[in-house]
């Protein structure tokens, strides 16, 4: 489940030293902007789905589709290790779309994506996510090891 307040406590502990009159409205506003309640309802409704099945359900629920050049996408190796560099400024939906697109050409469907660490809070997709610390703009040693392990296992990253 998405826990905005918990994430803020972990990443911005100083925020919780401010008076409640400032802190509570700030946290409430972020929960509202980020649609925490709606997201958690969707997660609960799809709690049994994992990995690509969950991603398919999320993309369908939000009516998100993508177009790609068939010839270009065939440049992605269908097996073996590969690193794909892509910017996904919209976060979760870009990450989901990239995973879906890359897995469509991978026979083994072995795909991991380096994405916002908040996405690893979702049990349904945690196997696909290598967390990046978007708050500090860094990868942790653990994330670097996850990338190394994924490549060692012939996965697409």
122 and 143 housed in the same domain:
yes
> What is the pLDDT confidence band of residue 13, given thresholds at 50, 70 and 90?
very high
What are the angstrom distances between the C-alpha of 39 and each of 19, 44, 61, 122, 139? 28, 9, 11, 10, 26
pLDDT for 6: 92
DSSP string, the chain: ---HHHHHHHH-GGGGGS-HHHHHHHHHHHHHHTTHHHHHHHHHHTTT--HHHHHHHHHHHTT------HHHHTTS-SSS-B------TTTHHHHHHHHHHHHHH-TT--B-EEEEGGGGG-TTTTTTEEEEBTTTTB--HHHHHHHHHHHHTT-B-
70 and 39 housed in the same domain:
no
Tens-digit pLDDT profile for residues 68-81: 888 888 889 999 99
54 and 86 housed in the same domain:
yes
31 and 94 housed in the same domain:
no
pTM of the model: 0.84
26 and 53 housed in the same domain:
no
Per the structure, the complete domain to which residue 39 belongs is given by 1-45
Tens-digit pLDDT profile for residues 102-137: 999 998 888 998 888 888 888 999 999 998 877 677
Nearest CA among 46, 155, 49 for reference residue 102: 155
| The pLDDT of residue 91 is above 90 | no
* Cα distance between residue 132 and residue 110, in whole Å: 19
pLDDT for 20: 94
| The pLDDT of residue 89 is above 80 | no
How many distinct structural domains can be found in the chain? 2
110 and 150 housed in the same domain:
yes
State the sign of the Cα–Cα–Cα–Cα dihedral 76, 55, 149, 118. Answer: positive
Residues in Cβ contact with 152 at an 8 Å cutoff, skipping those fewer than 6 apart: 81
> What is the pLDDT confidence band of residue 90, given thresholds at 50, 70 and 90?
low
- Residue 77 · residue 33 · CB < 8 Å: no
């Amino acid at each position: 489940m998405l826990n905005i307040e918990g994430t803020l406590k972990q990443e911005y502990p100083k925020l919780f030293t401010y008076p409640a009159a400032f802190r509570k409205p700030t946290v409430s506003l972020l929960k509202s902007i980020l649609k925490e309640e709606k997201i958690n309802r969707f997660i609960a409704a799809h709690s049994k789905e994992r990995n690509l099945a969950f991603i398919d359900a999320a993309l369908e629920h939000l009516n998100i589709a993508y177009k790609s050049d068939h010839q270009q996408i065939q440049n992605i190796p269908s097996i073996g290790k590969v690193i794909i560099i892509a910017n996904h400024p919209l976060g979760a939906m870009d990450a989901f779309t990239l995973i879906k697109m890359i897995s469509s050409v991978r026979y083994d469907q072995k795909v991991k994506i380096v994405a916002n660490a908040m996405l690893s809070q979702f049990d349904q997709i945690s196997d696909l996510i290598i967390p990046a610390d978007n708050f500090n703009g860094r990868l942790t040693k653990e994330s670097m090891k996850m990338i190394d392990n994924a490549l060692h296992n012939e996965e697409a990253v």
